[in-house]
Structure 1
């Protein structure tokens, strides 16, 4: 079984009233990178994931999760 990285970035960003551009500026990436992370099309580096979590003041496991895909 393959595992997929899921995240709550879009949900949390909305809760904090951040646009994709706001969050991108805060963590030093492009808006397109944040959009790709939200869609699970891009797996962020550990460093970027930690920066994102810091903006939401949450531990990594509350923002990102690894789940098995059923085939």
Structure 2
């Protein structure tokens, strides 16, 4: 009977270890998903800012050209 009890204890220990590893795997998966969501959010923000910057560069260039045209007319 002693062998049977030791075997049961060992099985219980292994089940606890397995449960701990499964819990850790779930936590890592959850963390990876959160990181991916945050990365996607940052990437979208970056793209939005880059698009805005490019529009502002175009507007600035057009404004400079218009100022040059007006200065030429004024002379």
Q: TM-score normalized by structure 2? A: 0.21
- Considering only CA atoms, is the larger Rg found in Structure 1 or Structure 2? 2
Higher helix share: 2
Higher strand share: 1
Of the two structures, which has the highest relative contact order with CA contacts closer than 8 Å and spacing of 6 or more?
A: 1
